[in-house]
A and B are shown apart, each in its own frame.
Chain A
Amino acid sequence: MGFRRGWTILAASSTIALALAGCTNNNAAPSDSPASPAPSASATSSASPNDSNAELDKLGLDSNLKFKETRKITVEVYDRGNDGGSKPEDNFYTQYIKDGMLRDHNVEVTFVPVPRWTEGEVINNLLAANQAPDIGVTYDYATIQTYANMGGILDLAPLVEDNKAILPNLWGYLTETNINWDKDPSTGTLWALEARLNTLNRINTFVREDWLKKLNLPAPTSLQEFEDMLVAFKDNASTLLGSDADKMIPFSTSFDIGWRADHLTASFVPNDITDRDIFIHDFDDRHLLYPNYKEGIRVLNKWYNEDLIWKDFPLYPAGDQTEDNLMKAGYVGAFIHNWDYPYRNGNDSIHASLQKLVGPDAAYIAIEPFANDAGDYKKFLSGPVDRKVFFPASNKEPVASMLYLDWISELDNRVFLQFGEEGVTHEKMPDGSLATIAATGEKIMNSPANIDYTITSNGLDLGDPDLTVKSMANGYAGVDSRFIVTANQITTHEGRIGKNANVGAIQAEDGQGQALKEKRDTFLNKAVTASVDKFDSVYDAGMKDYLNSGGQAIIDERTSAWEKYFGNETMLK
């Protein structure tokens, strides 16, 4: 009896021990599966039908571009954790993609959710553990570059070139420009494809339209007027908010000052800044290093000390809803944010909540108060690029993955994902444009126009520019189209579009992205909240630390890279 019991314990424990040992082996030895060289697929467009059939055969495809044996790929999808959202990896739209890929290419697709607000960290972990999905998406090119330097990313250059003939939609939609945007000029390697950004809309300054009316103020068109308006909001808090007067926040912002003060800081940058100066100082995507940036922050510092800015802004981390809730409750007078921020998210939008909680007149409208030294309302826009799509070296199905990107770039598929079903998530207007209907339940879109699924595309595109613009305007369910038209017009008005000075990888940027971002946010927050007389010392100390911790090395390397490729020129073609 005792013997038998002991025997069972021993057997059980050794089984568990073996299982555990097995697990660790799998996880801890990335060397077991070294980067497999991409099967060099070559279906050249000039080949005769027979040849191309033979070529397709080699890839395991039949003449309809279907794999003869089912292939399996995994695809990253952002998880936004939105209220009432569906499972990002399993819902109506993923089913549409899965069915389509199986039908058209005989490829089984599995989605891997990655939290939107910590995507960098999570993707890092997945890559380091060799468990990254076959198709990865990130906004952070530096991460891709770092892993590429370690040999962890597939070179896409031969894949897109050799398979050009079977990827008509991908090439047709992204074009040479976006496909080769990141191609290294000296080595020819290509670590990521740049998704296409259909609208360059970026940021807007919003103000409560009903407050302006109540106080009989015109929409401000200069910094001074804007400031006067904030002061007026503060002084008339009891008129505007009644018993909640003490909750008044004339201007709100977040710890991400760089984004949330963008139009203000851009107005302090000299109008005639050269492409060279932009490129050299462009490491930080919030334009921190642009000349005269400090003066924009000084204005915020002044406002903060005059109690015009939300006092608690530095305390709340990314993705926190506190500030949104203050806007929804109607306490916030003005703010700078994504170009359509108050109108996003259908029934849960700031706009919808305001109308529900405050009244039908309550609304934010985009304004344009910040002019630069030349009197222009200049905005620094990005190039037509958005997220970066990459294949980790562990991808065993590069051709199937490419066909996925092709499929997702196909017009009909894109339009379906952006608009969903007719009668459920959109209706057709008399003029042919489409209007989205905010859906709940299983057909809810977790991201605006499902951008999380259309990974090669951001922004509406119906193939016809006229229809696209009309559809965009009626694309915000429950929001008067004049708000959208105004926001859409102002956000790119007098904008300067980013150009691609493609000089290859800047080594000094390797692994610096997160640490420097952290430093930037920290010192900008400290500078804004410092007392006015301490502002200079706080800002300068922060900037010095930023430069000493790698910022200066990046500027220097960018300077010499510019000289190498463009010599003394100051402007790009």
Chain B
Amino acid sequence: MENAIRGKSFSYIKRYWVLYAMLSLPMAFFIIFRYIPMGYIIIAFKKYSIIKSPLEMEWAGNHGFEYFIKAFSNRDFLYAVRNTLGLNLLDLVIGFPAPIILALLLNELAFKRFKRFTQTIVYMPHFLSWVIISGLALQLFAPSTGLVNVMLNKMGFESIPFLNDSGHWVVTYILLGIWQSVGWNTIIYLAAIAGINPELYEASAVDGASRLRNIWHITLPGLRPTIIVLLVISLGHILSSDFDRPYALSNTLVTDVSNVISIFVYNYGIRGLQFSLSTAVGLFQSVVCIIFLFGANALAKKSGERGIW
């Protein structure tokens, strides 16, 4: 019996072996660059030394948890956690619905050429790196030389401290994030909308439904599985943090809100040479992300959706 199955799967592999050979490349990539490096997580529990292999390094104090204790008793780290959660939550609350709304709006445009043109324009910022965006932001929003503030001053208003006041900076940060990614993120929703059965719209037209009713009763429900999948993935990133976006946009006046975990890791790990500490922080971050991912997925499944696996 077993032999039969084995024989069967072997002949299956033999038949499609070219496909398996092609699969070996991505597999090799993941094993070499994603799984083997995971072994180095052990650095979080050891005293880092540049000249020893991770296996030979001495164990850290407190049963190997010295660096975790150090991180959690470090005020900067706690602030970094708070800022990461705060900025990501704002991104989620404000940034997540934005592409859905934009996709719905684009979908309602009757004039196809204009729709395509608009779509292209809103994609564009996605291709700009954050370093360039931060340069643009300085040119536009600097308090005394920024174009926007110069115009405000000429009109007799005070400068708005877009970049040099913590509260304003958060708003600038979130809005620039939306500006950069909203167009790109609509692609997936527009694709999902294109997949909705047109007969539904025809039927509702016969029933005399208005546009808003169409959106509410057909388009949005059609988008629901996609929205749920993307939401689950976003929740999985709740504690992960970009580096380039906050680092490029931040300056010394707003570090109390802009220092996120990745910047903490950069300052303490790469610049401060505390590799064990930063590995511990990275590990903590990944574990929290995984918990959120599983949790969100389980919730999604419970509420009758498909989830992501």
Interface residues of A (CB under 8 A from B): 2, 5-6, 9-10, 13-14, 16-17, 20-21, 24, 28-31, 34-35, 120-121, 124-125, 127-128, 130, 143, 146-147, 150-152, 255, 310-312, 314-317, 393, 511-515, 518, 521-522, 525-526, 529, 545, 548-549
Contacts and interface: CB of A to CB of B under 8 A. Distances in A.
Given A514-B272, A545-B75, 13 more contacts: A6-B18, A17-B28, A31-B51, A31-B53, A124-B271, A125-B270, A128-B275, A150-B48, A150-B49, A511-B268, A514-B267, A515-B272, A525-B252
B143 interface: yes
B52 interface: yes
B36 A24 contact: yes
A407 to B, nearest CB: 29
A521 B51 contact: no
B138 interface: yes
A392 to B, nearest CB: 9
Contacts of B163: 315
B142 interface: yes
* Nearest 7 CB-CB pairings of A with B: A31-B53, A514-B271, A17-B28, A525-B252, A6-B18, A311-B144, A152-B50
A549 B163 CA distance: 26
Contacts of B274: 511
Interface stretch (B19-27, B87-95, B209-217, B290-298): B19-27
Contact of A315 (B18, B164, B255): B164
Contacts of B37: 28
A511 B70 CA distance: 14
A515 B49 contact: no
A2 B144 CA distance: 68
Contact of A121 (B29, B51, B251, B270): B270
B22 A315 contact: no
B129 interface: no
A229 B82 CA distance: 45
B32 interface: yes
B143 A312 contact: yes
Contacts of A311: 143-144, 159
Contacts of A514: 267, 271-272
Contact of A529 (B29, B145, B164): B164
B51 A13 contact: no
Contacts of B251: 255, 314-317, 525
Given A13-B24, A312-B142, A146 B18 contact: no
B14 to A, nearest CB: 11
A6 B21 contact: yes
Contacts of B272: 511-515
B267 A515 contact: yes
Contacts of A317: 251
Nearest to B253: A314
A16 B253 contact: no
Chain B residues touching A, majority SS: helix
Given A150-B48, A314-B164, A511-B272, A13 B142 contact: no
Contacts of B255: 518, 522
B51 A35 contact: yes
Interface string B66-99: 0000000011100000000000000000000000
A13 B25 contact: yes
Interface string B270-291: 1111110000000000000000
B17 interface: yes
Contacts of B75: 545, 548-549
Contacts of B142: 312, 315
Contacts of B32: 17, 20-21, 24
Contacts of A522: 252, 255
Interface of B: 17-18, 21-22, 24-25, 28-29, 32-33, 36-37, 40, 48-53, 56, 74-76, 138, 142-145, 159, 163-164, 251-253, 255, 267-268, 270-275
B28 A20 contact: yes
Contacts of A128: 50, 275
B252 A152 contact: no
Nearest to B74: A549
Nearest to A132: B50
B267 A150 contact: no
Contacts of A124: 270-271, 273
B40 to A, nearest CB: 8
A152 B76 contact: no
A511 B164 CA distance: 29
A127 B48 CA distance: 13
A62 B111 CA distance: 85
A291 B144 CA distance: 34
Contacts of A29: 53
Contacts of A518: 255, 267
A301 B28 CA distance: 58
B50 A30 contact: yes
Contacts of A20: 28-29, 32-33
Contacts of A17: 24-25, 28, 32
Nearest to B24: A13
23 contacts: A5-B18, A9-B22, A10-B21, A10-B24, A13-B21, A14-B24, A17-B28, A20-B29, A21-B32, A35-B51, A124-B271, A151-B51, A310-B144, A311-B159, A314-B252, A315-B251, A315-B253, A316-B138, A511-B273, A514-B267, A515-B268, A525-B252, A529-B164
B26 to A, nearest CB: 10
A94 B274 CA distance: 35
Contacts of B138: 315-316
Contacts of B18: 2, 5-6, 9
Contacts of A310: 144
Nearest to B248: A317
Nearest to B275: A128
A317 B134 CA distance: 11
Contacts of A147: 50, 273
Nearest to B40: A28
Contacts of B21: 6, 9-10, 13
A338 B298 CA distance: 61
Nearest to B28: A17
A525 B49 contact: no
A220 B272 CA distance: 42
B280 to A, nearest CB: 14
Nearest to A2: B18
B25 A16 contact: yes
A255 B255 CA distance: 13
Contact of B22 (A13, A31, A314): A13
Contacts of B143: 311-312
Nearest to B39: A28
Given A13-B24, A511-B274, A522-B252, A30 B51 contact: yes
B261 to A, nearest CB: 15
Nearest to B165: A529
Contacts of A2: 18
Contacts of B275: 128
A379 to B, nearest CB: 26
Contacts of B76: 515, 549
Given A9-B21, A314-B164, A315-B164, A151 B49 contact: yes
